[in-house]
C-alpha cells in the first residue's frame, strides 16, 4: 500500500478561518497524513485572510516562505485557500506561480480533486467552483482540547463602508440549529464553546425568518459535553432584551460580550454605515452593566476614519472613559480598495491615525489596570489553559478573558494539588499588571 502524502496547514486570520481549516483537515485526513511539522509536509495549505492590506501581505509572505521548502524540504505542492484567492484570484493566478492550486472560501469539497490535478502537473484554479459548503460537522481540533470555536453563520449583510467581508464571504447565511448541535456534540468534552460569526446576533434571520440566537444557545446549553458558552461579535443594534435576559439567567452562558462598536462619534458612525449613535451605544453599555453587574464587555474601535475630526476623536476618547470596557482593541483605519470608504474625501495621514491609536490604547491601559487591580487579594475561578514554561507557572483565564485576544492569569500551585489543562481552579490573586494577573491555587 502506497504511503500517504504528509499534509500540513497554516491557518491565518480570525477564529472563523480556524474553523474552516479544522473542517478541511477532517476532510483530508482519510487521504493524507496530517503533520504539524511544516518542514516535513509534502503538501502545505495556507488558509488566508484578506480583510486588511496587512493580512494580505502576511498571507503572501507566508506562502512565499513555505514555497522555499520545495528546494530545502519535502514540499511538493503548495495550496492557497480562503479569503485571499476568493477576492483576488484574477491577480494571483498568473503572478503567484509559486502556488500550485487555489481554492476559495467555499471550495473545500474540491480539495482532493485539486491536489490530484496538481500532481498531474497542472496549476489549478478552483476558486468559486464549490457549493458554498465549508464542510460537514466533523473537525480536527487545532485549539487546546478543552475549548473550541463553533461558527454558527458566515457572510455578512451589514455593509459597513470600510469592510471587504461582504465582497469576500457573500451574504449572511446561518447554519441549521440541528447541524450546529451535532457539530458541538462531536467536539467531545469542552469547558468552553465559543460561538463565532461575523455577527452572531443576526443568527437565524435568513433561515427561520427571525432571530434565533437565544434558541440556539438554549439547545447548546442542554449538551452535557459543553460546560460553558461564550459569545463573540455581537452587533450593538441587534442586542435585545431576550439576549440580555439569557445572559443574565443562563448559568452556562459566560457573562461576556464582544461588541464591535468601531467608533462613538455619531457622524463617523453614519459614514461607516453603522446603525448606532454615541447615545445609543453608551445607553447599551450602561444597560448591560445595570442588568448584569459582573458582565465583561469587549470592543474594537477604528481611529482615523476618513473625515474624523479632532472633535470626533475627542468624542471617542470621552466614550472610552465613560464606558469603561473590560477589554478593547484599537486599529488605524485601513484604506481598502473596493470599499465605499476608499473614495471618501478627507483621508487622514498615517502618522495622525497611528498617534490616535496610541492615545486610545493609553486610555484603555489605565482602565484595564484599575479593573485588574480590583482583584488583588481576591479569588477567581480560572480555567487552566496549560503551562507557561518561560514563566515557570500555569496559565489560564477568568470569565472576562477570551482566548488569544484578552489578558491571561499566571498562577502556581502547591505540591498536593494536581493542575490539569481544561479544569477549573480557585486562584487567589497576588499581583496585577496592566493586562495580566498573577496568583496561586487555594
Nearest Cα to 395, choosing from 419, 381, 411? 411
End-to-end CA distance of the chain: 55
Angle of helix 53-67 versus helix 83-95 axis, rounded to 10: 60
Ordered by where they begin, the domains of the chain are: 6-125 (3.40.50.12160), 147-373 (3.80.30.20), 379-441 (2.40.50.140)
Q: How far is CA 312 from the centre of its chain?
A: 28
Q: What is the mean pLDDT of residues 1-21?
A: 90
Report the DSSP beta bridge partners of residue 142.
none
Model pLDDT, residue 204: 97
Q: What is the mean pLDDT of residues 174-184?
A: 96
Q: pLDDT over 70 for what percent of the chain?
A: 98
How confident is residue 131, by pLDDT bands cut at 50, 70 and 90? confident
Q: What is the mean pLDDT of residues 395-405?
A: 96
Model pLDDT, residue 2: 62
186-207 pLDDT tens trace: 999 999 999 999 999 999 999 9
Model pLDDT, residue 135: 57
Nearest Cα to 135, choosing from 81, 63, 195? 81
Residue 318 cell numbers, joined: 470621552
| CA triple 223-155-252, angle to 5 deg | 20
Q: What is the mean pLDDT of residues 104-118?
A: 95
Q: Where are the alpha helices (DSSP H) in 222-349?
A: 241-249, 266-271, 278-291, 310-323
Given a cut of 60, is residue 1 above it in pLDDT? no
Q: pLDDT over 90 for what percent of the chain?
A: 95
Amino acid at each position: 500500500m502506497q504511503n500517504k502524502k504528509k499534509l500540513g496547514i497554516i491557518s491565518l486570520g480570525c477564529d472563523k478561518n480556524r474553523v474552516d481549516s479544522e473542517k478541511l483537515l477532517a476532510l483530508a485526513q482519510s487521504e493524507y497524513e496530517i503533520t504539524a511539522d511544516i518542514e516535513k509536509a509534502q503538501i502545505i495549505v495556507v488558509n488566508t485572510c484578506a480583510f486588511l492590506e496587512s493580512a494580505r501581505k502576511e498571507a503572501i509572505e507566508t506562502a512565499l516562505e513555505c514555497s522555499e521548502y520545495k528546494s530545502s524540504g519535502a514540499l511538493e505542492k503548495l495550496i492557497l485557500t480562503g479569503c485571499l484567492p476568493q477576492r483576488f484570484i484574477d491577480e494571483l493566478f498568473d503572478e503567484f506561480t509559486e502556488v500550485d492550486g487555489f481554492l476559495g472560501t467555499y471550495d473545500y469539497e474540491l480539495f482532493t480533486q485539486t491536489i490530484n490535478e496538481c500532481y498531474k502537473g497542472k496549476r489549478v484554479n478552483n476558486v468559486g467552483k464549490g457549493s458554498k459548503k465549508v464542510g460537514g460537522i466533523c473537525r480536527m481540533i487545532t485549539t487546546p482540547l478543552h475549548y473550541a470555536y463553533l461558527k454558527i453563520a458566515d457572510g455578512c449583510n451589514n455593509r459597513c463602508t470600510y469592510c471587504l467581508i461582504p465582497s469576500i464571504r457573500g451574504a449572511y447565511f446561518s447554519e441549521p440549529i440541528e447541524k450546529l448541535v451535532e457539530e458541538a456534540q462531536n467536539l467531545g468534552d469542552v469547558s468552553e464553546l465559543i460561538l463565532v460569526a461575523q455577527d452572531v446576533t443576526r443568527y437565524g434571520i435568513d433561515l427561520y425568518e427571525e432571530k434565533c440566537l437565544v434558541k440556539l444557545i438554549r439547545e447548546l446549553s442542554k449538551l452535557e459535553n459543553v460546560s460553558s458558552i461564550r459569545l463573540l461579535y455581537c452587533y450593538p443594534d441587534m442586542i435585545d432584551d431576550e439576549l440580555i435576559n439569557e445572559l443574565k439567567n443562563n448559568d452556562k452562558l459566560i457573562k461576556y460580550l464582544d461588541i464591535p462598536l468601531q467608533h462613538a462619534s455619531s457622524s463617523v458612525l453614519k459614514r461607516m454605515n453603522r446603525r448606532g449613535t454615541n447615545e445609543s451605544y453608551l445607553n447599551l453599555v450602561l444597560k448591560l452593566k445595570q442588568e448584569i453587574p459582573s458582565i465583561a464587555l469587549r470592543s474594537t474601535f477604528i481611529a482615523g476614519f476618513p473625515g474624523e475630526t479632532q472633535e470626533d476623536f475627542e468624542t471617542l476618547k470621552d466614550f472610552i472613559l465613560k464606558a469603561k470596557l473590560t477589554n478593547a482593541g484599537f486599529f488605524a483605519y485601513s484604506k481598502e480598495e473596493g470599499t465605499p470608504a476608499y473614495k471618501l474625501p478627507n483621508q487622514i495621514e498615517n502618522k495622525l491615525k497611528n498617534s490616535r491609536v496610541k492615545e486610545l490604547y493609553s486610555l484603555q491601559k489605565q482602565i484595564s489596570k484599575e479593573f485588574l487591580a480590583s482583584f488583588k487579594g481576591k479569588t477567581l475561578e480560572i480555567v487552566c489553559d496549560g503551562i507557561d514554561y518561560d514563566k515557570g507557572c500555569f496559565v489560564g483565564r477568568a470569565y472576562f478573558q477570551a482566548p488569544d485576544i484578552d489578558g491571561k492569569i499566571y498562577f502556581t500551585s502547591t505540591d498536593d494539588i494536581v493542575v490539569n489543562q481544561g479544569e477549573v481552579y480557585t486562584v487567589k490573586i497576588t499581583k496585577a499588571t496592566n493586562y495580566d494577573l498573577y496568583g496561586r491555587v487555594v
